[in-house]
Structure 1
Amino acid sequence: MEVEERTIRLLEFREFKNLVSKMAFTSLGKKRILERGILSKDALEEELSALREAFDLVIKGEIPPFSASLSDITPLLENLRISLKLFPEELLLIRDFCKGVDKLREFFFSRKNEYPKLYLLVRELDPLRGLYSAISNAINDKGEVDSEATPLLSSLRRRIRVLEERIKGELLKIIHSPEFSDVIQEPLYTVREGRFVIPVKRDKKGFFPGIVHDLSGSGMTVFMEPLSTLALQNELKELRSEEENEINRILYRLGEMVMSQSLELKKNMEIVSKLDDTFGRALFMAEERGVIPKIDDKPVLKLSEVRHPLLGKEAVPISIEVGRKFSILVITGPNTGGKTVALKTAGLMVLAAWCGFPIPAQEALIGSFDFLFADVGDEQSIAQNLSTFSSHIEPIAKVLPRITNRSLLLLDELGAGTDPQEGAALAMAILKYIKGRGAKAIVTTHYPALKYYAIRESDVENASVEFDVETLKPTYRLFIGIPGASNALTIAKRLGMMDEILEEASKLISYQDERVEEVIRELHAKRSSYSNLERKLKEELEMVRELKEKYEKKLGNLREKEEKILASAKLKANKMIREAEEKLKEILNSAKSDIRRYAEAKGSIRKLSEDLAEEKPLVFEPLKSVKFLKVGDRVYVPKFGKWGEVEEIFQDEEEVALRIGFFRVFLSKDEISGEGISQGDVLPEVAEKVKVDIEDVPYELSIRKKNLEDARDELIRFLDRAFLKGYPQVKVVHGKGEGVLRKMVWELLKEIPYVKSFRFGDEAEGGQGVTIVYFERG
């Protein structure tokens, strides 16, 4: 698909790519997203398949370990070609990059069967473990060449330490010698030009046997090396020179290793950039509730509930199409009503889809176009002496001879900026030419002649952006099939225009135009009525669906309770049978000598086994109302097989908050029993731990901007429910701020017995603005 640079600029495609690139983890991924261009159909299908797998991982919360170490090391490799060695801190960047690659490789290799497209992408990642080990053994985490890098370096540094201690001992003797007490400025030694020196009073330097190396800023002190340490310090200088040579030899050797594997490092960077690019787009898709576009071989476009991504939360979803039922769509409506946004949205989504991006819509069908052209907005140029009319017509005139039946044109305010009658005639002629070439076009206009043209002509359809004449504000919704109504006189009347002027204006409108506008207004009124009816029906259907799900869940819960009670009773019965059999075996053993007693005992066993084998589950009557309870009452919870103490009562909802051990749970009156059972009749536990089916327990809780008391209560309830649900871990978002909420969260977590541990989130999880909580799971 061919797209001119001007169209790319007008559709704000670079701004869109910049928005998506913010979702990438690394500079490599960001750069690749910003450089994305139009793909061939085969390449696009491959990209979208990988994107689909990445999105599946994202919604599961399984994000690959894109660490900060996976940075662009290209500048290091370029410098290495010139200098032939790298500094220790630069080598650490290479080492950490290799480690990051290894972790990324392990993540995908463990999922290669489930995500084959992503595996194909990462299978050629080479962690370069040999290079990693060589750097790790030679460079420590402080960015220094380690003493154990080579035996020679270890020996040299050991000798240097011994020699330094000897020199320091000699210096201390001189400093504390009474002979030089009036000569020395301060009782200490320091280093100048790599040699140990003693500060001596300038006017006393003749009384100190040594060599001057430096003078203080005030000129009152000279720094002198004692002659008695001269030989030792010369030897130290030689050792340090040998040490430096050995360090350089190590760095050159490591540089050679890096250079020899520079191709593998560059290949790794390329794969990392592709992966991060893919997951950046997948995260954008999750953030925007987007979809992967369906690519069609025909030149068609159909977008359902699409939102312009650059408008953020203010974007109003629209549905727009062209190429399937009609080839040209004419959009009319008031200024600032959303016509231009609709045009830009359509063009941007076509361009984005063919560059491999997801579409922020409920459904997206993007066809194959050979040419995409957009003329949107006002490009009036004073420098080129072009009017608004000229600035639009000139590029359109140049492009029209090139269009085919697979081209898509987006023309904003076609024919505007000149005499209305001539502008409308020119616009209509252009539409006829486009239609004759079989091209596809979406056009916005204010000219009534064009909407009348769309009504008359086949393969041309009207659309309108809605305007609320009651509030005098646009709704930004787009309706296909209905032309935009002229509301000028209606609006003028609501704004206080005199009736006699409005009547005169009505007379000046031709009868035919007035009749058409009247029909259009009636269509809009019916459309509005049908929209309201459709919305109400959808709400009612949603309510019915929710009720159905609610009652199905309740039925499932009742069946689960029944099965648990039956299983518990059966366990109890089997236990009693086993105990009875043991006791009666003793009776049989003692009765074997007496045939009559033996037969009676055997019959007793048979009867007892038959009685106990019958499943007679204990039945608990649910509580009739919570109004019969008070705080502190003990009630039985059959589905847990536990007793709980009432902590809080919600009479309006017929619910109670119970404390069961160290859990706080919220249950309805149907889930607890306060009648017909004594505390001694507690059923034996079916298992050591019971997983509770608690509906809609999220993995994440945000308590930002809440006061401490509300945040604490909500956190306690969330943790109890998440633990009972069986989650191994959860995420608590408290923000950074002044740390008040974070402090409360950590103090509370220390008090809860079932919390195993907790930590700050890593960079991908939200850093110090979140806390990851792990539960005890036996």
Structure 2
Amino acid sequence: MNEHTLKVLEYQAIRERLTAHCTTPLGAERAKQLTPSTDLEVIRLRLQQTSEARRLIDLAEEMSLRGAQDVRHAAGLARAGGVLTPEALLSIADTLETARRLRTFLLAREEKCPALCVLARQLEPLPDVVSEIRRCLREDATVADDATPELARLRGRLRQLHARITERLQALLHSSRVRPMLQEPVITLRGDRYCLPVKAEYRAQFGGIVHDVSASGATLFMEPQEVVDLGNQIRETQIAEQREVERVLAQLSARVGKHADALLLTCDALGELDFIQARALLSAEWDAVEPALNTRGKIRLLRARHPLLKPPVVPIDVELGERFRILLITGPNTGGKTVTLKTVGLLTLMMQSGLHVPADTGTEMAVFQKVFADIGDEQSIEQSLSTFSGHITHIAAMLPRCDEHTLVLLDELGAGTDPAEGAALAQAILDYLLARRTRVMATTHYGELKSYAYARQGVQNASVEFDVQTLRPTYHLRIGTPGSSHAIVIAQRLGLPSSVIETARARLAGRETEATNIMRRLEEEQRALEQERLAAQQERVHAETLRKQLQQQLEKLEEERQRIREQVAQEVQQRLQELLQQAEEAYRRLREQPREN
């Protein structure tokens, strides 16, 4: 996809928002490298994955990747025969346990998320590797005593030696011969040797090895001669212990190396699932939907919102590519024309990246092979290009590459030069794109292009509404009606002298052509038709509401009638039962009377 297009449509901001939703470095790496695809099947799969993850979120069954880490470097090192640190081995165990939980979670919901389960089956929990790491390593990243019998023996001996040396040093502290030689009665460590703080003047008399000296030189930290042999035994045992620890880590690393390929595949699947989860979280944040796809160049956006605008955002309805291939949008500055272009362009890039789009259900979008956008001020001081030259340079580069599978977005087409020449050039560019069946959205201020849209089949006018009373845009897009810049009305409300306003209106009236008058009448007719359509739509909505209310009332009446029937039947049955009981009682008494007589 064209890098300039990605830049002007602010695609990088989408990557950043997506990256912020990733839990792991594996997912964040994918989010940062995200690019739109042009393969329809790839896009369908990505959108399906996003929709399945979104469905889980909506059901409060969000995937959890807590504990997963990027252990690819460690896996590669182990495969090459390297020895991993305890921290790296624990990270691998954490990652594999996350993979096991996630695999179990997704496979239990396969009917809801079949596409995610394809990735879930790539997760290899490697339970033997995890259990061995957990058995040999503590949570503080140290090797457990019972990792091997030899390590248990060595550490037991170390404890015994430490106890013996401490006992002997305690005895020296309480010795009447040694106590006067000490600065204070404490045992201290220097390096890995047990020492006592001896006054410097008693060095020869105390006897032993000096391992350190205080800053003032008044205190010598000396290992008494009586414990030197025990200290040496401790050191020898510590060396043997370290060798055994290294042997345990080497064995664990070899076990990881044996399964390195499966571990790398698991990391890949975890990263993909985290990336999908981030896409679903972004969908939920923006209340986005999965659009229907086509390859016919048809765009139909319903209540679409630009995802990077601060709320409140006015939604827009946009269509392109079915009834017409070029849409020309006119209207005042700051009225929302450029935002409309950016919304269509950015949502197209998002959809082709497997992201849901912030719009309503029923939205349909086309998969384009190329998307070009010429938006904003293209002035370049370094290249000595004016705004006009900057725009034309980009347009000249894109035109030969356009075809029926291309979307082109042009902002202020032909602007920055003589209006007559700019309008003529704009019409020529649109003719060129129309002949190539390219889908085009363009904004303009040129009145000539409004007439052009009426005269060309496949071209349609549109406008962004502007409230002349408040001097504020409404940002609503109206397809079929060209807009006005409202320059004179705005100038009048902003306080320009009335004489200037009248002169401007007179000059404008003198320049209006028959085509302009026809356009105005068409605009008025279009506006009237739109009002009639809205009124008819409101009537239909009102009629549908009444129909539903009547249907509900009929259903309630039917339920009430059924309830009354059941109640009457129950009462009749109960009364019949009572009459039968009374008849039986009377018959019983009649039969008993002769016996009594």
Q: Which amino acid in structure 2 is aligned with residue 484 of structure 1?
A: G
The alignment partner of 1:442 has SS state of strand
Query: In the alignment, what sits opposite 2:328?
Result: 330
Query: In the alignment, what sits opposite 2:131?
Result: 133
| CA drift at 1:537 | 5.6
In 2, the alpha carbon distance for the partners of 1:481 and 1:521 equals 8
Query: In the alignment, what sits opposite 2:521?
Result: 519
Q: Structure 2 matches for 1:679-718, cutoff 5 A?
A: none
Equivalent of 1:253, from 239, 251, 254? 251
Per the alignment, do residues 555 and 260 of structure 1 end up closer, same or farther by CA in structure 2, a change over 3 Å counting?
farther
Moved more, 276-285 or 532-541: 532-541
Question: Sequence identity of aligned pairs in percent?
Answer: 38
1:52 and 2:51 correspond: yes
| CA drift at 1:453 | 0.6
Q: Deviations over 1:679-710 (max 9, x none)?
A: xxxxxxxxxxxxxxxxxxxxxxxxxxxxxxxx
Query: In the alignment, what sits opposite 2:499?
Result: 500
Per the alignment, do residues 514 and 137 of structure 1 end up closer, same or farther by CA in structure 2, a change over 3 Å counting?
same
Equivalent of 2:6, from 8, 11, 18? 8
Equivalent of 1:235, from 233, 242, 249? 233
Q: What TM-score do you get using the length of structure 1 for normalisation?
A: 0.69
The alignment partner of 1:299 has SS state of coil
In 2, the alpha carbon distance for the partners of 1:331 and 1:520 equals 16
The alignment partner of 1:186 has SS state of coil
In 2, the alpha carbon distance for the partners of 1:29 and 1:361 equals 26
Per the alignment, do residues 281 and 116 of structure 1 end up closer, same or farther by CA in structure 2, a change over 3 Å counting?
same
Q: Which amino acid in structure 2 is aligned with residue 264 of structure 1?
A: A
Q: Which amino acid in structure 2 is aligned with residue 244 of structure 1?
A: Q
| CA drift at 1:508 | 1.7
In 1, the alpha carbon distance for the partners of 2:551 and 2:217 equals 91
The alignment partner of 2:216 has SS state of coil
Q: Deviations over 1:22-61 (max 9, x none)?
A: 2333222222223233151122222222223222212111
Gapped runs of 5+ residues in structure 2? 579-587, 593-597
Per the alignment, do residues 55 and 254 of structure 1 end up closer, same or farther by CA in structure 2, a change over 3 Å counting?
same
Query: In the alignment, what sits opposite 2:384?
Result: 385
Per the alignment, do residues 514 and 404 of structure 1 end up closer, same or farther by CA in structure 2, a change over 3 Å counting?
closer
In 2, the alpha carbon distance for the partners of 1:45 and 1:453 equals 38
1:203 and 2:201 correspond: yes
The alignment partner of 1:398 has SS state of helix
| CA drift at 1:499 | 3.2
Q: Which amino acid in structure 2 is aligned with residue 128 of structure 1?
A: L
Q: Deviations over 1:106-137 (max 9, x none)?
A: 10121224432221221121101111011101
| CA drift at 1:206 | 2.2
In 2, the alpha carbon distance for the partners of 1:232 and 1:488 equals 98
Per the alignment, do residues 43 and 559 of structure 1 end up closer, same or farther by CA in structure 2, a change over 3 Å counting?
farther
| CA drift at 1:562 | 10
Would you say the 8 A contact 1:57–1:63 is kept in 2? yes
| CA drift at 1:391 | 0.3
Would you say the 8 A contact 2:199–2:220 is kept in 1? yes
Query: In the alignment, what sits opposite 1:213?
Result: 211
Query: In the alignment, what sits opposite 1:276?
Result: 274
Query: In the alignment, what sits opposite 2:15?
Result: 17
Per the alignment, do residues 468 and 33 of structure 1 end up closer, same or farther by CA in structure 2, a change over 3 Å counting?
same
Q: Which amino acid in structure 1 is aligned with residue 54 of structure 2?
A: F
Query: In the alignment, what sits opposite 1:352?
Result: 350
In 2, the alpha carbon distance for the partners of 1:91 and 1:554 equals 67
Per the alignment, do residues 368 and 473 of structure 1 end up closer, same or farther by CA in structure 2, a change over 3 Å counting?
same
Per the alignment, do residues 39 and 297 of structure 1 end up closer, same or farther by CA in structure 2, a change over 3 Å counting?
closer
The alignment partner of 2:202 has SS state of helix
In 1, the alpha carbon distance for the partners of 2:500 and 2:519 equals 19
Query: In the alignment, what sits opposite 1:653?
Result: none
In 2, the alpha carbon distance for the partners of 1:167 and 1:410 equals 83
| CA drift at 1:219 | 1.6
Q: Deviations over 1:395-428 (max 9, x none)?
A: 2112212222222211111110011111011101
In 1, the alpha carbon distance for the partners of 2:517 and 2:178 equals 117
In 2, the alpha carbon distance for the partners of 1:562 and 1:170 equals 101
Moved more, 123-132 or 200-209: 200-209
Q: Deviations over 1:443-496 (max 9, x none)?
A: 110100001110122111000011110100111111101000241222222233
Query: In the alignment, what sits opposite 1:438?
Result: 437
Query: In the alignment, what sits opposite 1:285?
Result: 283
Gapped runs of 5+ residues in structure 1? 578-595, 601-778
Would you say the 8 A contact 1:147–1:153 is kept in 2? yes
Q: What TM-score do you get using the length of structure 2 for normalisation?
A: 0.89
Query: In the alignment, what sits opposite 2:467?
Result: 468
Query: In the alignment, what sits opposite 2:152?
Result: 154
In 1, the alpha carbon distance for the partners of 2:336 and 2:318 equals 12
C-alpha RMSD of the superposition: 3.2
In 2, the alpha carbon distance for the partners of 1:267 and 1:559 equals 65
Would you say the 8 A contact 2:81–2:254 is kept in 1? no
Q: Structure 2 matches for 1:339-488, cutoff 5 A?
A: 339-362=337-360, 363-488=362-487
Query: In the alignment, what sits opposite 2:584?
Result: none
Query: In the alignment, what sits opposite 1:321?
Result: 319
Identify which of structures 1 and 2 has the higher relative contact order when contacts are C-alpha pairs closer than 8 Å and 6+ apart. Answer: 2
Q: Deviations over 1:682-740 (max 9, x none)?
A: xxxxxxxxxxxxxxxxxxxxxxxxxxxxxxxxxxxxxxxxxxxxxxxxxxxxxxxxxxx
In 2, the alpha carbon distance for the partners of 1:378 and 1:116 equals 47
Per the alignment, do residues 159 and 559 of structure 1 end up closer, same or farther by CA in structure 2, a change over 3 Å counting?
farther
The alignment partner of 1:36 has SS state of coil
Query: In the alignment, what sits opposite 1:88?
Result: 86
In 2, the alpha carbon distance for the partners of 1:347 and 1:538 equals 34
Moved more, 361-370 or 427-436: 361-370
Q: Deviations over 1:279-310 (max 9, x none)?
A: 22122222212111211121222211111111
The alignment partner of 2:372 has SS state of strand
Per the alignment, do residues 489 and 113 of structure 1 end up closer, same or farther by CA in structure 2, a change over 3 Å counting?
closer
Q: Which amino acid in structure 1 is aligned with residue 173 of structure 2?
A: I
Q: Which amino acid in structure 2 is aligned with residue 43 of structure 1?
A: V
| CA drift at 1:546 | 9.4
Would you say the 8 A contact 2:482–2:523 is kept in 1? no
| CA drift at 1:232 | 1.4
In 2, the alpha carbon distance for the partners of 1:443 and 1:519 equals 23
In 2, the alpha carbon distance for the partners of 1:283 and 1:548 equals 41
Query: In the alignment, what sits opposite 2:585?
Result: none
Would you say the 8 A contact 1:11–1:344 is kept in 2? yes
In 1, the alpha carbon distance for the partners of 2:204 and 2:288 equals 85
Per the alignment, do residues 556 and 318 of structure 1 end up closer, same or farther by CA in structure 2, a change over 3 Å counting?
farther
Query: In the alignment, what sits opposite 2:292?
Result: 294
Query: In the alignment, what sits opposite 1:105?
Result: 103
| CA drift at 1:500 | 3.0
Would you say the 8 A contact 1:39–1:356 is kept in 2? no
In 1, the alpha carbon distance for the partners of 2:519 and 2:491 equals 16
Per the alignment, do residues 48 and 223 of structure 1 end up closer, same or farther by CA in structure 2, a change over 3 Å counting?
same
Q: Structure 2 matches for 1:501-580, cutoff 5 A?
A: 501-509=500-508, 510-512=511-513, 515-516=517-518, 518-519=520-521, 522=524, 526=528, 529=531, 533=535
Per the alignment, do residues 80 and 342 of structure 1 end up closer, same or farther by CA in structure 2, a change over 3 Å counting?
same
Higher helix share: 2
Q: Which amino acid in structure 2 is aligned with residue 349 of structure 1?
A: L
Query: In the alignment, what sits opposite 1:661?
Result: none
Would you say the 8 A contact 1:482–1:523 is kept in 2? no
Would you say the 8 A contact 2:195–2:223 is kept in 1? yes
In 2, the alpha carbon distance for the partners of 1:456 and 1:54 equals 48
Would you say the 8 A contact 1:195–1:233 is kept in 2? yes
The alignment partner of 2:335 has SS state of coil
The alignment partner of 1:217 has SS state of coil
